Amino acid sequence: MTTVCPGLMRTGSPRNADFKGRHRYEYAWFSISDALPLLTVSAENAARQVVRACKRGQAELVISVPAKIAVLFDSLFPEMMSQMLGLANQILPAPGGVGTQSMKGRESTSVWSPSWLTTLNEEAALRNNEVRH
d(CA 45, CA 27): 24
pLDDT at 5 > cutoff 70 = no
Q: What is the mean pLDDT of the chain?
A: 87
| 16-28 pLDDT tens trace | 999 988 999 989 9
Task: Give the separation between CA 42 and CA 64, rounded to whole angstroms.
Answer: 10
- Alpha-carbon span 49 to 54, nearest angstrom: 9
CB–CB of 31/105 below 8 Å?
yes
Q: How far apart are CA 68 and CA 13, in angstroms?
A: 23
- pLDDT tens digits for range 37-53: 888 888 898 899 999 99
